[in-house]
């Protein structure tokens, strides 16, 4: 009986259908659990779905490539979804105009802080250079971060994982930081979360309110642009300086 | 809905073309977002169809990150070797970035109401 199930699995795993269906099932299961936990940030749907899928692929010995052949159809939608962020953003146009100056200052400080503090902490704790370079762009959305990591000499596929991890950490932790620092403005909350935790933070922010989500989307877009421009000349000197330390 | 999806893809395509033409380090979809934002500002906002389609797509934004996240499988060895610096660096820098951004912004927007 068991060998037959194995054969069927091997056969189905070779077609894109299985990877795609499993992704949708895992995500909906994760979303259901998230709802049952009243959207508690620790029951993050991306985190739960990824854990379930990795466990399943691991147990069945299915390679990531095979899985991604199917999952790429979901992955592809990241492009049009990124473009679609212009629409909630537009809804906040008036507020954006009023806050343009403070938003830009906060963007510059937050963006630099996200990259430099990651490299410094990683270095102090003994991470390898390839890991440090892959860590630097982790606060920006996956496609931008992978491009930056490649340019810096990091590992793009490691960066994509660190980006997801960063997104989950921010989405889970933000509410505790805001409580500790008494940050109560929806626009401020959204902007900081989108800047540090890109699309996953933005998805979380949309659960809070439309306005929080729109400011998160704005911060994600702006930080993507700024990080792509900033890191190529910020990180190489930083790495040289760190390399000179004992 | 079909028209709205076509429009989103067209803006993405335009973004990719701009990125390639000017050899920009910024990915096409982000430029596409900026272009669509500019178009909406010029045209006084999106149609109902576009607004609904975007809402439906963005409602499941989290789902779209799952395939890339499963890629953690490919880096199990490095994660096992360097899990402590990676985890601490990610958590500390993400929390620091959120705190710095939120505090600065709150301070500046309170001063200029």
Residue ranges of the domains in chain A? 2-76, 85-243
Q: How many CB pairs under 8 A join A and B?
A: 316
- Entry pTM: 0.81
Residue pLDDT, tens place only, B59-110:
888 899 899 889 888 888 888 899 999 999 999 999 999 999 999 999 998 7
Higher pLDDT, A180 or A3: A180
Closest CA of chain A from B111, distance in Å? 10
Report the residue of chain B nearest A229, measured CA to CA. B25
Residues B102, A117: C-beta atoms closer than 8 Å:
no
The mean per-residue pLDDT over the stretch A133-153 comes to 88
Q: How does A162-176 read in b/e, with b if 16+ C-beta sit within 10 Å?
A: bbbbbbbbbbbbbbe
Residue of A nearest to B28 (CA): A79
pLDDT greater than 60 at residue A1 = no
Asked whether the beta carbons of A130 and A157 are under 8 A apart, the reply is no
A64 pLDDT tier (thresholds 50, 70, 90): very high
Of A139, A191, A196, the CB nearest to B105: A191
Report the pLDDT value the prediction gives residue A244, as an integer from 0 to 100.
54
Q: Do A27 and B63 touch (CB under 8 A)?
A: yes
Closest CA to A100 of A186, A13, A187: A187
Place of tokens 């660190």: A162
Q: Do B98 and A84 touch (CB under 8 A)?
A: no
How many residues are there in chain B?
113
What's the pLDDT score for residue A47?
Answer: 86
Residue with tokens 């149609």: B47
Contact B94 A122 (CB under 8 A): no
Q: What is the pLDDT of residue A3?
A: 65
- C-beta atoms of A49 and B66 within 8 A: yes
Residue B5 pLDDT exceeds 60: yes
Nearest to A54 among B26, B70, B84 (CB): B70
Exposed, middle or buried, A4 (CB in 10 Å: 0-12/13-18/19+)?
A: exposed
A226 contacts A144 by C-beta, under 8 angstroms: no
Chain centre distance of CA B83: 26
Going by pLDDT thresholds of 50, 70 and 90, the confidence category of residue A150 is: confident
- For residue A98, pLDDT over 90 is answered with no
pLDDT tens digits, residue range A185-238?
999 999 999 999 998 999 899 988 989 999 998 898 889 888 988 998 899 999
Alpha carbons A18 and A22: distance in angstroms, whole number: 6
Confidence of residue A246 (pLDDT cuts 50, 70, 90): very low
The residue of chain A with its CA nearest to that of B91 is A169
pLDDT reported for residue A4? 79
Residue bearing tokens 């077609």: A15
Q: How high does pLDDT run on average in chain A?
A: 89
CA distances from A221 to A189, A198, A227, B34 (A): 16, 8, 10, 8
A57, pLDDT greater than 70: yes
Alpha helices in B66-75 (DSSP H): 66-70
| Nearest CA distance, B19 vs chain A (angstrom) | 12
Question: Are residues B25 and A229, on separate chains, in Cβ contact within 8 Å?
Answer: yes
pLDDT, residue A143, reads 75
- Per-residue pLDDT of B31-62, as tens digits, reads 898 899 999 999 988 999 999 999 998 888 88
Question: Do the Cβ atoms of A185 and B32 come within 8 Å?
Answer: no
pLDDT at B113: 47
Residue B75 pLDDT? 87
């Amino acid at each position: 009986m068991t060998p037959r199930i194995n054969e069927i699995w091997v056969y189905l795993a070779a077609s894109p259908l299985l990877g795609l269906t499993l992704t949708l099932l895992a995500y909906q299961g994760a979303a259901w659990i998230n709802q049952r936990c009243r959207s508690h940030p620790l029951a993050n749907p991306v985190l739960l779905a990824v854990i379930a899928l990795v466990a399943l692929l691991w147990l069945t010995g299915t390679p990531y490539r095979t899985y991604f052949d199917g999952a790429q159809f979901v992955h592809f939608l990241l492009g049009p979804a990124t473009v679609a962020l212009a629409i909630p953003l537009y809804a906040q146009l008036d507020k954006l105009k009023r806050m343009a100056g403070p938003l830009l200052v906060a963007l510059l400080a937050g963006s630099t802080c996200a990259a430099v503090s990651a490299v410094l902490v990683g270095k102090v704790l003994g991470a390898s250079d390839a890991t440090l370079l892959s860590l630097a762009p982790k606060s920006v959305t996956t496609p931008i971060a992978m491009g930056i990591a490649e340019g810096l000499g990091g590992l793009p596929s490691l960066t994509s994982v660190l980006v997801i991890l960063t997104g989950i950490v921010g989405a889970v932790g933000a509410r505790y930081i805001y409580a500790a620092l008494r940050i109560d403005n929806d626009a401020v909350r959204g902007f900081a979360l989108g800047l540090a935790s890109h699309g996953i933070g933005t998805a979380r922010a949309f659960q809070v309110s439309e306005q929080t989500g729109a400011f998160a989307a704005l911060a994600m877009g702006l930080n993507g642009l700024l990080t792509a421009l900033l890191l190529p000349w910020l990180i190489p000197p930083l790495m040289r300086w760190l390399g000179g330390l004992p | 809905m079909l028209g709205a999806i076509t429009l989103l893809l067209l803006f993405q395509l335009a973004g990719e073309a701009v990125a390639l033409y000017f050899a920009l380090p910024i990915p096409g979809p982000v430029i596409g977002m900026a272009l669509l934002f500019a178009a909406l500002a010029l045209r006084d906002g999106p149609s109902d169809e576009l607004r609904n389609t975007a809402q439906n797509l963005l409602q499941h934004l989290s789902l779209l990150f799952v395939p890339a996240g499963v890629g953690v499988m490919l880096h199990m060895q490095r994660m096992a070797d360097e899990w402590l610096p990676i985890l601490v660096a990610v958590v500390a820098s993400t929390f620091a970035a959120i705190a710095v951004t939120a505090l600065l912004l709150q301070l500046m927007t309170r001063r200029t109401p």
